[in-house]
Structure 1
């Protein structure tokens, strides 16, 4: 019975649409936070198209949404996001480090977003409507950055 449940859960996950998001960390340890045109706080990334490689999708989304190139993505966290109108999807968050300090980076926003800024931990804490999953992922990345300094 237990193994059957695991197999059913695995099949359910394999059939979910995937949204790949990236916590972009600057050389000085700030993270890029975006706000969508709808007002929702966001991270760069988006839907992985059918047949598309997960990492290629993140590279594409970063270039399209903020004008950055990044590689060497490190897994941070994942969860299933439920939405009554859009349906469930698997959200996978990765971390990518840039070689420049935040103040030297030009964020080139797509039409999808109205605001984007590199923030320190205190700046992220000031965002009152940060989605819990994104907030947790960003917190993990801030902690990793401190450990790796």
Structure 2
């Protein structure tokens, strides 16, 4: 179980599928990453994801259905990161991507190829979730129910708050 602290960061990630493959970015550390990043203060989740993906890819994205919310602890820290992953589509072609200086490479990988890549396990899980079944009966060509996505995220945060309050009460 992840220890809950008072410090949380929210990161949004885009799982972008093209022709049965997923778009991944390589960081300077060599790890593979999904497009996306940290939310700014007071920034809406979908807006932050769109902004981050556009900065990293040079293209706009269309945010689709929510895939998953997960929580991970930052190594050597008392802070936690809440990762919110969505199925998204590119507004242009893969060949139109203009990579930011934040990453060194962009490639398409099949669901089986990602198993051998150096990447966060929660990102790998999000990709496998997309390939293994349609999300809420939708695929990358359809628009999600915004209310369903909002309910799922809200439910996740309510559970997280409840865990944090319980943890805090036990420590006082």
Instruction: Report the TM-score range of the alignment, normalised by the length of the smaller protein.
Output: 0.7 to 0.9
Contact 1:55-1:73 at 8 Å conserved across structures: no
- TM normalised by structure 1 equals 0.76
Report the equivalent of 2:62: 71
**Structure 1: unaligned runs, 5 residues or longer:** 1-8
Measured on the aligned residues, the alpha-carbon RMSD in Å equals 2.6
Alignment of 1:74-85 (within 5 A): 74-83=65-74, 84-85=76-77
Alignment partner of 2:133: what SS?
helix
Residue correspondences, number: 134
- TM normalised by structure 2 equals 0.67
Residues 1:100 and 1:122: Cα distance change in structure 2 (over 3 Å)? farther
Residue 122 of structure 2 corresponds to residue 133 of structure 1: yes
Determine the C-alpha separation between the residues in 2 that align with 1:60 and 1:138.
21
Q: CA deviation at 1:29?
A: 2.2
1:113 to 97, 103, 115: 103
Residue 85 of structure 2 corresponds to residue 93 of structure 1: yes
Contact 2:22-2:110 at 8 Å conserved across structures: yes
Determine the C-alpha separation between the residues in 1 that align with 2:69 and 2:85.
6
Alignment of 1:1-149 (within 5 A): 16-26=8-18, 28-83=19-74, 84-85=76-77, 87-98=79-90, 102=94, 105-127=95-117, 129-144=118-133
Alignment partner of 1:130: what SS?
coil
Q: CA deviation at 1:99?
A: 6.7
| CA deviation vs aligned residue, 1:15-60 (integer Å, no higher than 9, x gap) | 622000111112x121101111122221100000111111111111
